[in-house]
């Protein structure tokens, strides 16, 4: 569903953000990208979203080369980025075309993220976790085949984060969008993803591709979970050593 072949991204400043990445994400798969800061994980997501263009190689979504943002991917950022002047309902419908065309789709997805009672609330009345749920609803309202999550829970407190991880999986069951998740939290990656991809430093190639063969909902106290934690931590540690340039 998502396919990157030899993708590199160099910014006009000369800074190389992504270097020669090959990556495949199958339909209905959840793949997590982890790595130290500077490894280019967020840039990879932006390339898949079409918000940036690669300087070498190409990104494909659903068999089409990504040439710009389109409706095949919904994206959730680290901050909810809701329009403060619009109600929850109108924020969710923000990308719909025409705006008031499909109220049923809007109310359905708002119910799915559990905010049915807040459709008329303004963003300033929401907690951080609720606002991020609205952002998820907004990304999914058109049922895009691909869901992109850029450190979606890292600005939240630990309890809300765990709560939203569980919640995300429930919402994901709706139509099981192909999901690419960028995170720096190993536990989050292991709780959510079918595969965890560890990226090397400044920027580097893919260092490890760890398959998480555990049934959901996953228990953090499962011995296999611990084994994978250690494995991912080891890979991350090595890539972090490689990251130390001096």
Residues forming the site for other proteins (CB under 8 A)? 49-51, 68-71, 75, 77, 79, 81, 83-87, 90, 94-95, 98-100, 122-124
| C-beta of 14 vs 84, nearer to other proteins | 84
| C-beta of 137 vs 232, nearer to other proteins | 137
CB of 210 to other proteins, least distance (A): 29
**C-beta separation of 123 from 80 below 8 A:** yes
**C-alpha of 60 from chain center:** 17
CB atoms within 10 A of CB 152: 27
**C-alpha of 168 from chain center:** 11
CB of 98 to other proteins, least distance (A): 7
| C-beta of 79 vs 160, nearer to other proteins | 79
Longest dimension (CA), the chain: 57
CB of 212 to other proteins, least distance (A): 28
| C-beta of 100 vs 213, nearer to other proteins | 100
C-alpha torsion angle, residues 182, 165, 141, 100 (rounded to 10)? -120
CB of 159 to other proteins, least distance (A): 23
CB atoms within 10 A of CB 103: 11
């Amino acid at each position: 569903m998502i396919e990157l072949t030899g993708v590199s991204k160099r910014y006009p400043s000369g800074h190389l953000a992504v270097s020669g990445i090959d990556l495949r994400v199958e339909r209905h798969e959840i793949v997590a990208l982890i790595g130290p800061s500077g490894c280019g994980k967020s840039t990879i997501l932006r390339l898949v979203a079409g918000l940036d263009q690669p300087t070498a190689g190409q990104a494909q979504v659903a068999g089409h080369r990504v040439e710009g943002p389109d409706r095949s991917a919904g994206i959730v950022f680290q901050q909810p980025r809701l329009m403060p002047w619009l109600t929850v309902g109108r924020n969710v419908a923000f990308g719909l075309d025409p705006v008031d065309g499909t109220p049923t789709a809007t109310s359905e997805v708002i119910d799915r993220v559990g905010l049915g009672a807040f459709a008329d609330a303004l963003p300033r009345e929401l907690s951080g976790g609720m606002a991020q749920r609205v952002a998820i609803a907004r990304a999914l309202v058109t049922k895009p085949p691909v869901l992109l999550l850029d450190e979606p829970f890292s600005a939240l407190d630990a309890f809300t984060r765990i709560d939203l991880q569980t919640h995300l999986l429930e919402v994901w069951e709706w139509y099981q969008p192909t999901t690419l998740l960028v995170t720096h939290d190993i536990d989050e990656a292991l709780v959510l993803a079918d595969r965890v991809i560890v990226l090397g430093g400044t920027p580097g190639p893919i260092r490890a591709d760890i398959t998480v063969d555990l049934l959901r909902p996953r228990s953090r106290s499962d011995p296999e979970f611990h084994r994978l934690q250690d494995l991912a931590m080891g890979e991350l540690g090595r890539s972090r050593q490689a990251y130390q340039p001096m």
